[in-house]
Structure 1
């Protein structure tokens, strides 16, 4: 299945710049492939075995997350793996932090205002509610009027071209960007895109998340791997960790069993068309 026209414009991220050129000679192609393979090995060997999620809910009820303590407002929500030199623990990574994270979501007024819409969109597009929730938390902190410097709009930080691909159109009264500030419109379109990515990448959640951040073209050019962009790698790690800590314990246990046996997260359904 080929990506739709304009796939690299999906997120306005590192893949926004399209490059058109003739195919390089075979020797040059081989040299580049070897260099890319060597870089992938180095990255896999040097990646830290631990990661953290810090965050806080501000006075407007909006959630903020980071992979380090930005300032005193941020508290530790998650620590996965072990820091170098730390003794191992019998506690499952992140288990001690999940209740704290859940409690923070419980007091977030901006999250509570849209949680029914998240569930509606997750059901409509066969997505896991907690995964969609983790994406929105990372993208916008549940701020429906968030606009990125690159022009991504709303809860799921959709670029206008992506929104058009998934059914959002301007009306007589509103521009497309204004429509994307409507929580239901934004979440349904973003969920449709995320579901499409999961299907396109055969249920590989990390690749779908990488494509949501950098564009599916960037993932394909990286050989169906997470592109070597720091922002994208951090994004995939952050969403994945939030997702795992938001899952009910029984669901998490079932998913770990299914993942260990198949390598693919279960629960990816069909892609019904939503009316936006």
Structure 2
């Protein structure tokens, strides 16, 4: 049994299972419902003190559809390693303080034969962009398998081709992990991030890493969502200067979206 142990518990979120569950329960204590099937989320991946509440604004809708969702495709950017294509994990489970999540090893085996796909324990070992989403998924869903995909030097069109068929299944949720602009002044960041959101809401897959560190994942979603006629709904938009612990000199932007069938 190969387990990818948590790398950022105690830094991006608490390592205490009790405190973590209490924090998540507080954010998700008033779950919202969506009349149409939820197909995807865009959520930030900073430390919970900065972006956890923003992520929860989208995650809270999953509770009402937890019985339907059995598979999660989780896409995020690789912050530590640069490589061609996408990286899948070599693990059988991803672990957090709340327990283990089973990897969709069947899909991993199918995808690993495709060009621009590598299976790497090293690339996934210390990456936070996917890990911080897991406690939310563990809290909001029941039994599900996970397909964690890290992107580096790869086009959104290529990623869309990789996941298109998998994401067509009714029981599959796509989660795209991305922050927005980084290290601008508060007012500049508001302007930049507002423009980025306008592009997202026009389904324009032209985002750059300067606009969103997970731009590849967002652009991938936009390509497929537009083709399928999915509806995007913004749930929250702030930056770190809006939080109790952030200053307004060099901020990071955070947004969450709900993507549903029309």
TM-score by shorter chain over 0.5: no
Q: Give TM-score scaled by structure 1 length.
A: 0.29
Greater Rg over alpha carbons, structure: 1
Q: Give TM-score scaled by structure 2 length.
A: 0.30
Greater fraction of residues in helix: 1
Higher relative contact order (Cα pairs below 8 Å, separated by 6+ residues) = 2
Greater fraction of residues in strand: 2
